[in-house]
Structure 1
Amino acid sequence: MSLGVRAVTAASNMARKLGQSLDNLGKTMEVCKYRDQLVPSTRFVAVDGLSPTVSPDTAFVAPNASVIGDVSLGQNSSVWYGATVRGDVHKITIGENTAIMDRAVIHVAKIQGDYPSIIGNHVTVGPGAIVHAATLMDGSVVGPSAQVLDGAVIEKNAIVGPGAVVTPGTVVKEGEYWLGSPAKLVRKVTPEERHTAMETSLETLELARLHAFETSKDLAQLTKDEEAYEDAMYRDPDYYQPSEEASRKGDVLGQGTPGLIFDSVLTNPEEGLKLKRKQQLAEAGEQK
């Protein structure tokens, strides 16, 4: 660890202790005891001075996903809810348009063997799957709850079926479908399966962008969305809604146009008669 990193670490520890001391002092002065439980975000975590490198065009990293250490995440890729990408003792490289699905784990090896995890483009790692110090080439698929272990290689457009266990050092050749524990070749990947894998990759990308938009909202936007939802659910559809144009023309101090609700034909019948007369004259003019 470099001198600069040690200095920053020592300063942060001192600041944390000072904050805890002030918090304890504040608690002794409280009349009604209250403790705010704060859960720090673990979305991106540095290890030994190495922080994840995330493309600005990355589609989505879930709020409760963990991307740790020497990790590179390419554009249009996504890391879903509860997933862990842990590059603490070696590097992890994830290419473009790749999806690490819910609760999946990507890890590396350093103690027994020396393997990074290299994941290519258009790869799908299914929910609950484990990729431990392995290589997944472009277009490959690792099914739900499957395991690909140390030094294994999944070549292009190959599929590891659900629950399969690819043992250490195994090579799954291009376009092969493996299944079982330990996993073995059962057949070739069909053109339909290859097409489905690509379609799934594109659909996941669109869904990732939607989730990224929703999870990026602040409290003010969430409150506004909730109010709009309740308004749409419970408001009578015939209730008067001022148009944007009308609001812009007669708006006063951001409160809308005066008279649109209270100065109506219900409270002032004579206004209704005037309006009806205007409509009759307009219709007569159009007929001429």
Structure 2
Amino acid sequence: MTDPRFPGALIMPFEGKIPQIDDSAFVAPGARIIGDVTIGPEASVWYNCVLRGDIHRIVVGARSNVQDGSVFHVEGPRPETEGEPTIIGDECVIGHMAVVHGCQLADRAFVGMGSVAMDGSRIAEGGMLGAGALLSPNKMIGKGEIWIGRPAKYYRTQNEAQIAKIKFQTDRYCDLAQSHLGQLRGE
């Protein structure tokens, strides 16, 4: 199934759940949005991303960006648990080729390129999972903390310059999304 607002992207219902995508969001050609997925205002999902909400829900907050090749999935319900949705807050940055699986990110959280955030993990407001890091199941990155490595461990707390850089990245991706959308529409 396609959506005329997002040419070249696959927007597919699954078992009666239809992706809900704000009109101001950008979904790039080649992206796959499946099932119980909500994408907020001015959010962007870039080329060749997969957001598969087939056994639980996925939410991408306002002005958050999911960069090229990233994969979002969820942990479905089991007899002993309700499962784990993937919930991304507002103004989050998800780097290229990240895997975000059944975890939750508060506003302005950052997941670096090639990182993996696993089931039940949490990243608090302004927290950062460094590039290439692996956040094990049920781990918690605190407010403003930087975690790096495989498995990820606390490194230090962000300074004001790093917090400003995340804000810059959010603003840049909102602008880039509009530019790419204009190109796709021939404007």
Corresponding residue number in structure 2 for 1:88: 54
Residue by residue over 1:190-218, the C-alpha shift from the partner in whole angstroms, topping out at 9 and shown as x without a partner, is: 1100000001100111011000111133x
Counterpart Cα distance in 2 of 1:163 and 1:149: 13
Mind listing any 5+ residue stretches in structure 2 that lack a counterpart?
A: 1-7
Residue 166 of structure 2 is aligned to residue 197 of structure 1: yes
Mind listing any 5+ residue stretches in structure 1 that lack a counterpart?
A: 1-40, 222-288
Residue 74 of structure 2 is aligned to residue 103 of structure 1: no
Q: Contact 1:43/1:61 (CA < 8 Å) preserved in 2? A: no
Q: Contact 2:125/2:143 (CA < 8 Å) preserved in 1? A: yes
**Residues paired across the two proteins, number:** 178
Q: What are the within-5 Å matches in structure 2 for residues 19-38 of structure 1? A: none
Q: Could you tell me the TM-score, scaled by structure 2's length?
A: 0.92
Corresponding residue number in structure 2 for 1:66: 32
Query: 1:162 aligns to what SS in structure 2?
Result: coil
Residue 29 of structure 2 is aligned to residue 44 of structure 1: no
Residue 169 of structure 2 is aligned to residue 188 of structure 1: no
C-alpha deviation, 1:42, in angstroms? 4.9
Output the amino acid matched with 2:172.
E
Corresponding residue number in structure 2 for 1:76: 42
Counterpart Cα distance in 1 of 2:71 and 2:178: 22
Q: Which has the higher strand share?
A: 2
Q: Contact 1:63/1:215 (CA < 8 Å) preserved in 2? A: no
Q: 1:136 aligns with which of 105, 120, 129?
A: 105
Percent identity between the two aligned chains: 32
Q: Which has the higher helix share?
A: 1
Q: Contact 2:9/2:28 (CA < 8 Å) preserved in 1? A: no
Counterpart Cα distance in 1 of 2:21 and 2:9: 15
Q: 2:148 aligns with which of 168, 179, 186?
A: 179
Corresponding residue number in structure 2 for 1:24: none
- Detail structure 1 runs of 4+ shifted over 4 Å in the superposition: none
Output the amino acid matched with 1:180.
G
Counterpart Cα distance in 2 of 1:200 and 1:42: 24
Q: Contact 1:157/1:194 (CA < 8 Å) preserved in 2? A: yes
Corresponding residue number in structure 2 for 1:208: 177
Output the amino acid matched with 1:74.
G
Give the greater-gyration-radius structure (CA): 1
What CA RMSD, in Å, does the superposition of the two structures yield over aligned residues? 1.5
Output the amino acid matched with 2:162.
E
Q: Could you tell me the TM-score, scaled by structure 1's length?
A: 0.60
More relative contact order in 1 or in 2 (CA 8 Å, sep 6+)? 2
Residue by residue over 1:16-61, the C-alpha shift from the partner in whole angstroms, topping out at 9 and shown as x without a partner, is: xxxxxxxxxxxxxxxxxxxxxxxxx552011001110011121x10
Query: 1:210 aligns to what SS in structure 2?
Result: helix
C-alpha deviation, 1:111, in angstroms? 5.7
